[in-house]
Chain A
Amino acid sequence: MDLRTLTFLVVGATFALYVYIAIRARAGTTAEFYVAGKGVHPVLNGMATGADWMSAASFISMAGIIAFKGYDGSVYLMGWTGGYVLLAMLLAPYLRKYGKFTVPEFIGDRYYSNKARLVAIICLIVASLTYVIGQMKGIGVAFSRFLEVDFATGLVAGMAIVFVYAVLGGMKGITYTQIAQYCVLIFAYTVPAIFIGLNLTGNPIPQLGLGSTMADGSGVYLLDKLDQVCVDLGFAAYTAQKGTTINIFLLTLSLMIGTAGLPHVITRFFTVPKVKDARSSVGWSLVFIAILYTTAPAVGAMAYLNMMHTVQVGEVGTPAGNIKYDDRPSWFKNWEKTGLLKFEDKNGDGRIQYYGDDKEFAKKAETFGWKGNEMVKVDRDIMVLANPEIANLPNWVIALVAAGGIAAALSTAAGLLLAIASAISHDLLKGILKPDIDEKSELMASRIAMGGAILVAGYLGLNPPGFAAQVVALAFGLAASSIFPALMMGIFSRRTNNTGAISGMLAGLGTTLLYIFWFKGFLFIKSTAMLPDNPANWLGGISPEAFGAVGAMINFIVALTVSHFTKDVPDHIKHLVEDIRVPFGSRAAVDH
């Protein structure tokens, strides 16, 4: 059976499974639409959170970025896992105790103001929508490859499927579907990693394989070999640090705080039976996430090594050392069709030269008759999907990876769209504008909101401001600078009042958004960027992706200062804060 038919079959089968579950568990009431029926077991909730969390950015994009950045890719690994520590200790149990549907609801109540709730709604929509753009990029890559069409067509196909999928389900359907999706995606991610690890190092556990010696009998450690291969071709060593320490530090921090501030993840912990369960459920989520996150560095390193060996077949500098363009493997041809991989024969020798821009090496390359790097475009987001093909794994593994990537993108996009929909229909419409709206119209409004969000995100996803993982990193910066500080102060500082929280959120979100738009273009339209996005222009060497941590600091400082000079928090709110700090007396999970 050829690869294309097989991919259709595997993707189709997994889809049938999700849709079946979604229909069986179709949401009947508004409560079920927003949060799954009460009392989802912590372990199962952890698994669903894992699927919700691990998106196209984690599945498709992250290992590819690690492959090309080496050590610097660690920011995503630490950033997207370390945030769970913050979530477990600073937010989840308290928000569960409070027991409401949504994040803006908590902020509106705690800061006794509809204005605060409105600002929280805006922050939530901005962050979530940016996140969905990143997902759309990932979905576009996956669909363009397996339908063998260009990126734009793939994206539109993906949008249509997300629409049907998210609008149909609601949270109740999603929780059980997401458990299925977790199983599909983790299987799809680890199987090729195990195969490739076995091929390269003889060790079936990728986490150990990455630290093992090569299986070719040379006794060289895989990572040392990779460092050598990189340096030999004018790239920086794989394990060496390339970016500045300050930027790596702040980007990691920004991703961590953002993780704890992303509404679709927080909402997850409203659904466990008890406060106690909220704590352990965060732990279980991280266990399921860590399985993929500790595998990803191995996938990245090994895929990169295999790719280098595909292009550079022999000694560097000898003519026969580079593969002939006509002999390029089929994965190369397939990805060329999507436009995400491009070759340009600069020196007209019919062979592919791929090398870095190290100055010393450039001089050497000239003597070889090389006229520049000829792999003019290698979109990082293709690495994970191309990985099994590069390693010559059987077709069913390739089909499986496509299914896994689509599962990852769909599950997260659905969760995010739901967060956006509930912010608009539940918080904005029912909470502020039209409190007497009936359940049916509220559900309708949330479905329309989802549709609108998909269109906007799809449109912006056509010209994304970066690779999927980078776009998602921007979303985290926005969540970090706006939502996390407001939630944390709401629990840990009795003194933070309404004016303080509102000014804090606006200052944090405003500065971060401005900084991002300054370099990425307003509303991510590239032509409107004020300065080119490169380290020379960044303020203090801080990249737009990393600015969220600074925005969060601004938020904290502004909120605490303004609170200090304005009217103290009323007594009943102080009691509310006292109450959410102790687990005793918590009500059943969201049941209104």
Chain B
Amino acid sequence: MSDASAYWKANIRLVIGCMIVWFIVSYGLGILLVEPMNSIRLGGYKLGFWFAQQGSIYCFVALIFFYANRMNKLDREHNVHED
């Protein structure tokens, strides 16, 4: 049981970490900070605009695979993986 709760705590920590990144790349750089970000340019893109229409989506994909990968490891470490 204690192992299950340690597993759950580790999971929550991982989720919160990922959520922070999720928030920053979309709401942070793409919405709240879009004006200052737009003063930086990435080729023809203004950076805030790029995050809102391109960058955030790439980050989301990377985040999910990162999470899935880490969770699979956690499953094994805490011995709760499927057989």
Contact = CB atoms under 8 A, between A and B. Distances in A.
Nearest to A42: B68
Interface in A274-301: 274-276, 279-280, 282-283, 286-287, 290, 293-294, 297
Contact of B53 (A77, A224, A253, A276): A77
A290 B59 CA distance: 11
B53 A74 contact: yes
A71 interface: yes
Contact of B64 (A212, A249, A283, A585): A283
Contacts of B19: 85, 89
Size bin of chain A's contact surface: 35 or more
Contacts of A224: 44
Interface in B22-65: 22, 26-27, 30-32, 34-35, 38, 42-46, 49-50, 52-54, 56-58, 60-61, 63-65
B45 A210 contact: yes
A297 B54 contact: yes
A84 B64 contact: yes
Given A211-B42, A212-B43, A276 B54 contact: no
Contacts of B15: 89-90
Given A78-B57, A90-B15, A294-B57, A283 B27 contact: no
B72 A276 contact: yes
Contacts of B52: 71, 74, 77-78
A213 B57 contact: no
Nearest to B12: A492
DSSP class of A's interface residues: helix, strand, loop or mixed? helix
Contacts of A249: 27, 31-32
Contact of B60 (A71, A82, A584): A82
Which of B11, B19, B30, B64 has the most chain A CB atoms closer than 10 A to its own CB?
B64
B77 interface: no
A89 B18 contact: yes
B81 A583 contact: yes
A290 B82 contact: no
A543 B38 CA distance: 25
A584 B81 CA distance: 5
DSSP class of B's interface residues: helix, strand, loop or mixed? helix
A241 B65 contact: no
A294 B72 CA distance: 29
B30 A78 contact: yes
A223 interface: yes
B44 A213 contact: yes
Interface string A70-113: 01011001100110110011100100000000000000000000
Interface residues of B, number: 43
A294 B7 CA distance: 36
A89 B67 contact: yes
A586 interface: yes
A554 B36 CA distance: 32
Contacts of B7: 581-582
A82 B32 contact: no
Contact of A294 (B18, B35, B58): B58
A114 interface: no
Contacts of B32: 245, 249
B82 A221 contact: no
A292 to B, nearest CB: 10
A81 B57 contact: yes
A40 interface: no
Interface string A507-524: 000000000000000000
A248 B64 CA distance: 24
Contacts of A61: none
Contact of A85 (B42, B60, B71): B60
A135 interface: no
Nearest to A83: B60
A283 to B, nearest CB: 4
Nearest to A208: B43
Contact of B68 (A71, A78, A88): A88
Contact of B45 (A223, A279, A287): A223
Interface of B: 4, 7-8, 11, 15, 18-19, 22, 26-27, 30-32, 34-35, 38, 42-46, 49-50, 52-54, 56-58, 60-61, 63-65, 67-68, 71-72, 75, 79-82
- In order of increasing CB-CB distance, the 9 nearest A-B pairs are A221-B44, A74-B52, A279-B68, A283-B64, A211-B44, A582-B80, A297-B53, A211-B43, A584-B80
11 contacts: A85-B22, A89-B64, A89-B67, A210-B54, A211-B42, A211-B43, A211-B50, A212-B43, A239-B49, A249-B27, A286-B60
